[in-house]
């Protein structure tokens, strides 16, 4: 494994990532000239300086993507697939750097390569399989068929919590379908996206087909509102997703939204707790709970509550905390604001009467003073109406709620505005079937944890968790529009 001394991280990053935007196949500074510091969230130290995108930079990127569109659209599907395969292979070759870089900027303890290359390769395999239909006609002198065509320039707004995977999950299908793309990574974690863009150029993606302009809300809003953008994908919070959708409405462009969650982990009396507990703990400590799919509501059948609470408290209290370069289980939150947000949620839960079992604040010790740490936190006696049971915390905070039977479990599980992932733990196959049907979520797992192991399973939300699906073969089709074509002769005889 490549090892990087955290004190040298900035030098390593500077060698790896172009400190510039990627526009039209070139690395360029921000038109505004401003730069943003990217911090290691475990220490607060600066690890990179990246130009801060402005609406003018977004204009330039959209113009480059518009110019590149006709040639990319008209390239044969096989050649588009070949370029994407090369990009995937190059990312696999650089898997460790990509994984380390993302760990560093997100603050997640490094636990192995990133595997974004596999995602690109999976989608590359779909690029030459986009086909239409031939349709029946009223008379035999006609042919009717459908074509699936790209939209044009696609805007892709990426959050900071898993920038590499979330970028390629949208960008690869958009490119496979013949679109060109402008990516706007989050200001807190833009480095992985810039390296992915650089690797795409090295793989032979023509200039302007993929452009990357990091920054905050201003370039994000500029991209969402841009009249040159014909399709928008947004991954992030529900509130910002709604504002992106309003912007899209002004230009009447389709939107794909991957938003937040408050995912239930439903534990029945017959569950195997030895199987369930490590998965539940991992679900809320991975990325310090900053994953949209985090199972942050534990719904437990009454008879097992105390046993489960004790097991969760033991496991959460044993969680080792540290930086991305340490051999630990959980890292810090992304920044000071997010740390304060999570601490605020903890305070609200206590004031609403939830019972704090463990954690509940910044871990003690000098080591944790400089980064943005919050200890893994467990609340018992949580009522479904409490804010802790309804609102996404986006931090390592677990809430335990009780139920008596399957009907009550389903009612509580479905009783938030979200519907991203629902997981159940039970030995009863009949109950598992009922749950798979009745749980309102884009993904239902039974006795399978965070990494369900499915390849090509569509990922996306119900209700306010969003709409549209990534990671499946069908996700390529979401970046196409359907054209019906009817062909007839001129009436002359062709005998
Ligand atoms: P966020 O909504 O604050 O930001 C997301 C992105 O939008 C960032 O790039 C940000 O710069 C940009 N942005 C901010 N204001 C904007 C505006 N007015 N117009 C356009 N773009 C704007 O979210 P976040 O805090 O970065 O990410 C955390 C959220 O993302 C959580 O709610 C989480 O659940 C969600 N998320 C969802 C998924 C999913 O697949 N469903 C995956 C990861 C994260």
Say how many Å lie between the CA of residue 58 and the centre of ligand 1: 18
Q: Tell me the pLDDT of the chain averaged across its residues.
A: 96
pLDDT digits (tens, 9 = 90+) for 259-309: 999 999 999 999 999 999 999 999 999 999 999 999 999 999 999 999 999
Pocket test for ligand 1, best of 236, 441, 475 (most atoms within 8 A of CB): 236
Does some domain include residue 364? yes
What is the DSSP secondary structure assignment for residue 150, as one 8-state letter?
E
DSSP H or E segment with residue 467: strand 466-467
Across the range 231-259, mean pLDDT stands at 97
User: What is the domain-level CATH number for residue 50?
Assistant: 3.40.605.10
Residue 344 is part of a domain; what is its CATH number? 3.40.309.10
* b/e code 460-478 from CB counts within 10 Å (16+ = b): bbbbbbbbbbbbbeebbbb
Model confidence at 90: pLDDT above 60: yes
Residues 241 and 345 placed together within one structural domain of the fold? no
The pLDDT tens digits of the residues spanning 128-165 come to: 999 999 999 999 999 999 999 999 999 999 999 999 99
Q: Is 258 annotated in the active site?
A: yes
Return the ligand 1 atom nearest residue 338 CA. Answer: 25
Task: List, chain by chain if needed, residues with CB within 6 Å of any ligand 1 atom.
Answer: 157-161, 166, 184, 186, 216-217, 220-221, 224, 235-237, 240, 243-244, 258-261, 292, 392, 394, 420, 461, 465-466
Residues 339 and 393 in one domain: yes
pLDDT score for 127: 96
User: Do 336 and 226 share a structural domain?
Assistant: no
CA-closest residue to ligand 1 atom 28: 236
Q: Are residues 103 and 230 in the same domain?
A: yes
**CA 447, chain centre distance (Å):** 23
The first and second tokens of residue 278, run together, are: 């490590």
What range does the domain containing 79 cover? 6-259+469-482
Same domain assignment for residues 230 and 356:
no
- CB count within 10 Å of CB 42 equals 27
Instruction: Assess whether 330 and 379 both reside in one domain.
Output: yes
| Among 97, 105, 258, 478, the one annotated catalytic | 258
In this structure, the answer to whether residues 375 and 253 fall within a common structural domain is no
Domain count, the chain: 2
437 & 476 share domain: no
Q: What is the pLDDT of residue 493?
A: 64
Residues 92 and 230 in one domain: yes
- Asked if 403 contacts 299 with a C-beta cutoff of 8 angstroms, the reply is yes
Q: Which residue, judged by its Cα, is nearest atom 32 of ligand 1?
A: 237
What integer pLDDT is reported at residue 4 of this predicted model? 76
* Mean pLDDT, residues 389-400: 98
């Amino acid at each position: 494994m490549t090892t990087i001394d955290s004190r040298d991280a900035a030098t390593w990053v500077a060698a790896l990532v172009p400190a510039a935007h990627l526009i039209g196949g070139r690395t360029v500074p921000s038109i505004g000239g401003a730069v943003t510091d990217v911090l290691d969230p475990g220490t607060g130290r600066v690890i990179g300086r990246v130009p801060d995108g402005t609406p003018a930079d977004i204009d330039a990127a959209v113009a480059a993507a518009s110019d590149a569109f006709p040639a990319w659209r008209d390239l044969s599907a096989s050649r588009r697939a070949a370029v994407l395969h090369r990009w995937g292979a190059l990312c696999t070759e650089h898997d460790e750097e990509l994984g380390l870089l993302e760990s560093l900027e997100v603050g997640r303890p490094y636990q192995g390569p990133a595997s974004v290359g596999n995602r690109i390769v999976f989608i590359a395999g779909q690029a030459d399989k986009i086909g239409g239909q031939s349709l029946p006609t009223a008379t035999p002198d006609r042919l009717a068929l459908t074509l699936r065509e790209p939209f044009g320039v696609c805007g892709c707004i990426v959050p900071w919590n898993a920038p590499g995977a979330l970028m390629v999950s949208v960008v690869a299908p958009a490119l496979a379908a013949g679109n060109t793309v402008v990516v706007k990574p989050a200001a807190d974690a833009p480095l992985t996206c810039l390296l992915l863009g650089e690797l795409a150029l090295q793989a032979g993606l023509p200039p302007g087909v993929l452009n990357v302009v990091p920054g905050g809300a201003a370039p994000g809003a500029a991209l969402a509102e841009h009249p040159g953008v014909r399709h928008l994908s947004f991954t992030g919070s529900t509130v910002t997703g709604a504002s992106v959708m309003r912007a899209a409405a002004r230009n009447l462009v389709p939107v794909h939204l991957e938003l937040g969650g408050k995912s239930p982990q439903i534990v029945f009396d017959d569950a195997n707790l030895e199987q369930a507990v490590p998965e539940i703990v991992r679900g809320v400590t991975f990325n310090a709970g900053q994953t949209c799919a985090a199972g942050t509501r534990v719904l437990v059948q009454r008879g097992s509550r105390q046993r489960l609470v004790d097991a969760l408290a033991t496991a959460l209290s044993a969680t080792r905390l540290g930086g991305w370069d340490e051999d630990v289980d959980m890292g810090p939150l992304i920044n000071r604001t997010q740390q304060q947000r999570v601490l605020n949620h903890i305070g609200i839960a206590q004031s609403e009467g939830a019972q704090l079992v463990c954690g509940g604040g910044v871990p003690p010790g000098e080591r944790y003073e400089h980064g943005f740490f919050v200890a893994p936190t467990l609340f018992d006696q949580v009522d479904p109406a409490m804010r802790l049971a309804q609102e996404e915390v986006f931090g390592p905070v677990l809430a335990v709620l009780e139920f008596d039977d399957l009907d009550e479990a389903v009612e509580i599980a479905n009783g938030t505005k979200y519907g991203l992932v629902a997981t159940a733990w039970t030995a009863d196959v009949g109950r598992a079937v009922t749950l798979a049907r009745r749980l309102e979520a884009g993904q239902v797992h039974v006795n399978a944890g965070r990494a369900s192991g499915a390849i090509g399973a569509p990922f996306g939300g119900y209700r306010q968790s969003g709409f549209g699906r990534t990671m499946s073969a069908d996700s390529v089709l979401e970046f196409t529009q359907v054209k019906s074509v009817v062909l007839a002769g001129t009436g002359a005889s062709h005998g």
